[in-house]
Amino acid sequence: MAAKPTPATVPEYSENSIRVLKGLEPVKQRPGMYTRTDNPLHILQEVLDNAADEALAGHGKKIKVTLHADGSVSIDDDGRGIPFGLHPEENAPVIELVFTRLHAGGKFDKGKGGAYSFSGGLHGVGVSVTNALSQRMEVTSHREGQVARLVFAGGDVVEPLSLRPQAEGDRRQGTSVRAWPDASYFESSALPMGELTHLLRSKAVLMPGVSVTLINEKTRDTQTWQYKGGLRDYLMQTLVTDPVIPLFEGEGFADSQNDSFAEGEGAAWCVAFTEEGAPVRESYVNLIPTSAGGTHESGLRDGLFQAVKSFIELHSLLPKGVKLMPEDVFARASYVLSAKVLDPQFQGQIKERLNSRDAVRLVSGFVRPALELWLNQHVEYGKKLAELAIKAAQTRQKAGQKVEKRKGSGVAVLPGKLTDCESRDTAYNEVFLVEGDSAGGSAKMGRDKENQAVLPLRGKVLNTWEVERDRLFANNEIHDISVAIGVDPHGPHDAPDLSGLRYGKVCILSDADVDGSHIQVLLLTLFFRHFPKLIEAGHVYVARPPLFRVDVPARGKKPASKLYALDEGELAAILDKCAKEGVARDKCQISRFKGLGEMNAEQLWETTLNPDTRRLMPVQLGDLDFAATEGLITQLMGKGEAAARRALMELHGDSVELDI
């Protein structure tokens, strides 16, 4: 028998084991949480974004980036200069706080006392990360006739703030930051020049009239970008092939009378439609490049699609049997999109994707009427564009029909309670397995009938962990699920025929409460045990409906809004954010959904079914392999496993919150 480990070999876990990281320590310990660590470009972009925010606010016309021979980089602007007086609460110079404290900045209070209405900076984390990951950093601020200078090393102040009056005749205003990135934090210390020039050029595009200059001391090259024609000039220079019709450009911003959006929110865009070649697609939010897209791009797609669809319907151009999808219009679109959002929500600190739900309506609401008007003023161009979209739809439908023929004639009769979708494009189609008939009713009314099907399930599904495969179909619910998705039950080592699969996404949709979780577990058990290849191929998803709705009254420039939270944690975050914006907790009306059946069709669409705003989680094997996962589920779902379940409960019982 193996000897028990002596206490000396077991790591001690006590009060002394807990470390609280202070100041900029968290950034140095885990730089990947705050920035991209493949090269230092992103930490320099943080400084550049601050200079761009000054220009965006109308306080600067020039930005200069210098690559010095010693590997350092300087960024100079002619904005207002960072304030260097003492902070009223922190008793330290403001300029020092900006570079040494996480979550200190001038971009939190939008529309009431903050320094910026629109900005790319959100978290007050940016330049403090640049400072933490630089060996040395020199900051100079020219403001109100004085010059302030500060020097940091590894995030710490090494030369405290010094002030001197500006030289006579020197009327300069603005900020100059010179940083020496610390190579030990990055995979490569070399800056990707292609990415850097693209970034600088795009800043110039998005701010017509502002000049952006890059000086390279090693090669003695100087480049300056200034675009008087903005997005149109830029897109025409970037396109590889000629567009089929002239460029469609426009902009729309909310005014003070707008009920839904704050004054100044909106977008500018330029779109080109080409027949071949890879499309050029660039989007920005408050001048921040969103390389992974997001909800503003979804809004552009929706606006273009709705406008083209209504033009086609108005002129009766759609051939019989052809169904138009958003992708048919969007696939051949190249565009530059620049959105202005008052308080944008990004995915992660490096802001590559916009998550703000309202941005879909914001952008679509301006793009759709503008394109409808333009197409009806230029009917010939409209017909050319319609032809391009219809051709794409026909090609897509033909590809879908090829799969249809392979299914043979012995197709099982689809279950009567399945409300099917119209499209036959498997990759695009989704089926929602919905708990209960009342929720099924809301889902049927709220879904997009083009590609979303609904199969309501009555009551709890059978626990199928120990059911023999050939006895499965004795249960009506499971029979209906199998026939609806078009795949027969199979084992982990079988090679099932997936060509009959009728939906690319099989989504489990149950209430956000304990019963809903139980139904979710029973369905996941069914798929893992009897349809494992569907999980392996990435076809199974869990839809996450919200548990709470928060009605927030109007505040400052922001109109009244409805926000949704998945759980208590998100609810707390929403209420904290409202408190920061000056809305008291008791002014926010919180309602809890008892179940999906309580939501009306519009709410269910907006929160759970709409691809642009929903949370849909793919089901995958986690850290454990198939066999280990199988062992764990046996403990949870097996009939003779009560003792193992009890042991699990004793082990993890205190980490479970009871929801009564």
**Would the annotation count 123 as a binding residue?**
yes
538 is in an annotated binding site: no
CA distances from 495 to 462, 516, 524 (A): 25, 32, 20
Is 125 part of any known ligand binding site? Answer: yes
From the list 182, 425, 488, 511, the catalytic residue is 511
The reply, when asked if residue 582 is annotated as ligand binding, is no
Catalytic one of 425, 435, 480, 488 = 435
The answer to whether residues 567 and 547 touch, using CB atoms and an 8 Å cutoff, is yes
Using DSSP, state whether 531 is helix, strand or coil: coil
Per the CB < 8 A criterion, the answer to whether 326 and 302 are in contact is: yes
Residue 513 known to be catalytic: yes
Residue ranges in 41-157 assigned as alpha helix (H): 41-56, 94-100, 126-132
Catalytic residue among 448, 497, 513, 630: 513
Binding site annotation covers 587? Answer: no
659 is catalytic: no
Asked if residue 501 belongs to a known ligand binding site, the reply is no
Q: Is 126 labelled as part of a ligand binding site?
A: yes
Beta bridge partners of 153: 156
Residue 640 labeled ligand binder: no
Residue 431 · residue 508 · CB < 8 Å: no
122 is in an annotated binding site: yes
Are residues 53 and 107 in contact, defined by beta-carbon separation less than 8 angstroms?
yes
Write out the two tokens for 4: 């028990």
Respond yes or no: is residue 511 known to be catalytic. yes
Helices (H) and strands (E) in the chain, counts: 18, 21
Does the annotation place 13 within a ligand binding site?
A: yes
Cβ atoms of 481 and 639 within 8 Å: the answer is no
Inter-residue long-range contacts of 413-420, CB under 8 Å, 24+ positions, other chains counted: 413/483, 414/483, 414/484, 415/455, 415/479, 415/480, 415/483, 415/484, 417/455, 417/456, 417/480, 418/453, 418/454, 418/455, 418/480, 418/484, 419/444, 419/453, 419/454, 419/455, 420/453
Which of 25, 251, 352, 515 is labelled catalytic? 515
Rg (CA), the chain: 29
C-alpha 312/C-alpha 422 separation (Å) is 19
Q: How far apart (Å, rounded) are the C-alpha atoms in residues 56 and 65?
A: 17
State whether residue 620 is helix, strand or coil. coil
Longest dimension (CA), the chain: 93
Q: Minimal CA–CA distance to 248: which of 217, 222, 274, 270?
A: 270
Q: Which tokens is 351 given?
A: 């802001």
Which strand (E) or helix (H) includes residue 533? helix 532-536
Residue 503's nearest CA partner among 537, 456, 472 is 537
User: According to the annotation, is 343 in a ligand binding site?
Assistant: no
Binding annotation for ATP: 13, 50, 77, 121-127, 351
Binding annotation: 13, 50, 77, 121-127, 351
Active site residues: 435, 511, 513, 515
